[in-house]
Chains A and B, each alone.
Chain A
Amino acid sequence: MIKSIVDFFGDEAYARYRHRLFYLVLALIVVADFVVPRDHVEYLWERLPGWSAVYGFVSCVLLIFVSKFLGHQGGLMRREDYYD
């Protein structure tokens, strides 16, 4: 069973199902975020349904591009023989 689950995520043959499932899950999460009760909120953003989705996406994009910028333009990334 484990093999078939792993294959589902790896095999090109299931690519379409994977994508559909993925976008369905994303939609469900956003919808669920609108309906869950929020009895204890302290900060403004916690009141906004869907905030976490936006913040997660923005965080991810920021992390990728800021890091790569630091790596390439900031000179953090070097050739493998740099210390040799």
Chain B
Amino acid sequence: MIEFVHPALLFVLGAVPIPFLPRSIRKAYLLLIPVLAIFAVLALQPGSYGAAQFLGQEILIAKVDKLSIVFATVFTIMALIGTVYALHLTEAGQHVAAFVYVGSALGVVFAGDYLTLYLFWEGMAFASAYLVFAQGGEKAIGAAFRYLMVHVTGGVVLLGGVVLHALASGSLLFGPIEGNIGAGAYLILAGFLLNAAVPPLNAWLTDAYPEATVTGAVFMSAFTTKTAVYVLARAFPGTELLVWLGTAMALYGVVYAVLENDCRRLLAYHIVSQVGYMVAGVGIGTEVAVNGATSHAFAHILYKALLFMGAGAVIYVTGRRKLTELGGLYRTMPLTVALYMIGAFAISAFPFFSGFVTKSMVVAAAGEDHRALVMLALTMASSGTFLHTGLKLPYYMFFGTDRGLQAREPPGNMLVAMAMAATLCVAIGVFPGPLYALLPYQVAFEPYTGAHITESLGVLMFTALGFVLFLRALDPENTISIDTDWFYRKGARAFMWFAERPLARYEKAVSDVSETAALPLLHGTARTGLRIDIHGVDAIVNGVAHAILDGGGVLRRLQTGVVTHYALAMIAGLIAAIAVFAVVWR
């Protein structure tokens, strides 16, 4: 019996054969891996696995506890739903990227040390960026590059934080950061907040998700931000800053959603808003609050994927994504409308839908913690959520002005995936027990009280009244909204201008000087040098060599080997010596 199968391994290694499988087998294989992963997660026993030493540091590949199991459970379920939704795709690349993405997310969830966490963290960034690149076209590729650059920058910040934190604390093990938060921990927090899309680090999300492929966006909506919520819950529970950041982002998302015209960008802003509840929950840090954040992440993954699947189905069928160009689809796509609306009721926290039993836990936690302002702000964001995802988006996408679009229901696998998510959204809402049992702490929270139901319905239905009365004010406009990506999009342009104008001119001037003055001078000097070398140095060396050679030849010729010649030479020498002697010494 194998003690422990790392679910991340199933996905990462399982992705390898996908391109080589024949199409008929591939579909079955694509479903098999997530199913196996679900079983692997169900079989997990809490404990530490894969402890090792690396560069003298303790490494822990997998640390399994209740918090990691609940995230891994929803991740594997979501992987199955996302795979069903993408089953009709023929190109293998997106399936491979999606599997590596899911595997990396699971790797982060189980990571017991910062090094393992960091490696999977980067894996997620690259695999998910492929899902945007795969869409093709100038806009998508631009967005994908921005997405990748932002995440790589965030990764570097995280790595820097990990190194500083490890130096300060002497350990790479990943766990709650206690005591005073040092520079390292702040950098780690910044890296995490970037992936959680906390403003002002949120624009990568709303920039990239609407540009991703129809099926890719479904995966993206589920994993990156929720792994970030997980690591925040693991390392920074009870950090006061997070309460306020979370509350602000819950409202930030709904404000932008009013302005949005692109259906998936509107939904992306609602990810920002919903993740705000989770970040605030982590920040409050009480047992109820962390339970609320965790269960809300669980429910959010399913209903947000359902909403993205619904919007994706419309884009897949009509090829349009702007609300100003959509409308009247309810006649031809009733099933999509119904399934989308289940997601919309779930995100809006209607009784008997999943959001009701999870979101209210965060709001109640804020109340118990005596944070009236947070509670009121989060309730206002709930109103905004229903206003946009439950009323504005479906109204302009499916109802409203009939644009006479040719439409039909999407392929069967898409509908099945949506039905799976919708079933879970309702099941969690009606029977919250099994989800509550999964949560990290004991749950003593009863969502279904009379006052809670009438209160929620009051907020939601009177939001609907506001929508009906001020419908015209909400009409989508053919615009885009400026978010914090302005800084790097315009900043990059300024940088490019600087590189192309002043810097390039300076470079040209330098190269002109070198071409007109410096280079000829250098050439001339080199030529003179060459001439001196050939005609001076070489000539002397060659002359000496020749002289020695010739002298040697002469000497060689003198060596005749005949004794009489030598005798004669000796006599001549003797005579010469005497002559010299006579002259010199006289």
Q: Return 21 A-B CB contacts under 8 Å, by A number.
A: A2-B335, A6-B330, A6-B334, A25-B461, A29-B454, A32-B450, A32-B454, A33-B455, A36-B450, A43-B372, A52-B454, A54-B462, A56-B383, A56-B460, A57-B465, A59-B466, A63-B383, A71-B259, A77-B259, A78-B481, A79-B480
Q: Binary interface profile of B, 451-472, with partner A (CB < 8 Å = 1, else 0)?
A: 1011111111111111110100
Q: Are B259 and A67 in contact (CB under 8 A)?
A: yes
- Residues from chain B with a CB closer than 8 A to the CB of A43 are 367, 372, 375
Does B541 interact with chain A (Cβ within 8 Å)?
no
**Residues in chain B near residue A79, CB distance under 8 A:** 479-480
Q: Which residue in B454, B465, B466 is a CB contact (below 8 Å) of A33?
A: B454
Candidate in A6, A42, A60, A61 with the most chain B CB atoms within 10 angstroms: A60
Q: Are B461 and A29 in contact (CB under 8 A)?
A: yes
CB contact between A64 and one of B330, B460, B470, B480 (< 8 Å): that residue: B470
Instruction: Please report which residues of chain B, range 67-114, place their CB below 8 angstroms from some CB of chain A when the two chains form the complex.
Output: none
Contacts of A57 in B (CB 8 A): 462-463, 465-466
B373 to A: closest C-beta gap in Å: 11
Q: Which of B384, B450, B454, B477 contacts A63 (CB 8 A)?
A: B384
Could you tell me which residues of chain B, from 551 to 583, have a CB within 8 Å of some CB in chain A?
Answer: none
- With a CB–CB cut-off of 8 A, which chain B residues contact A78? 479-482
Q: Which secondary structure dominates where chain B touches chain A?
A: helix
The count of residues in chain A whose C-beta lies closer than 8 Å to any C-beta of chain B is 48
- Which residues 39-59 of A have a CB within 8 angstroms of B? 42-43, 46, 50-57, 59
Once bound together, how far apart are the Cα atoms of A53 and B379, in whole Å? 12
Partner of B399, one of A10, A26, A83: A10
Which residue of A has the minimal Cβ distance to B452?
A36
- For residue B380, CB closer than 8 A to chain A, the reply is yes
A-B contact count (CB 8 A): 158
**Would you call the interface of chain A mostly helix, strand, loop, or mixed?**
helix
A65 contact from B254, B384, B473, Cβ within 8 A: B473
Please report the C-alpha to C-alpha distance between residue A38 and residue B451 in the assembled complex, in whole angstroms. 6
Closest Cβ–Cβ distance, residue B127 to chain A (whole Å): 26
A13 at the interface (CB under 8 A from B): no
CB atoms of A60 and B479 under 8 A apart: no
Name which of B254, B259, B375, B383 has the most chain A CB atoms within 10 A of its CB: B383
Chain B residues near A3: list those with CB within 8 A: 334
The one of A10, A26, A77, A82 in contact with B462, judged by C-beta atoms closer than 8 angstroms, is A26
The answer to whether A71 and B258 have CB atoms under 8 Å apart is yes
Q: Tell me whether B387 is interfacial, beta carbon within 8 Å.
A: yes
State the CA gap A38–B453 with chains docked (Å). Answer: 12
Contact A55 B258 (CB under 8 A): no
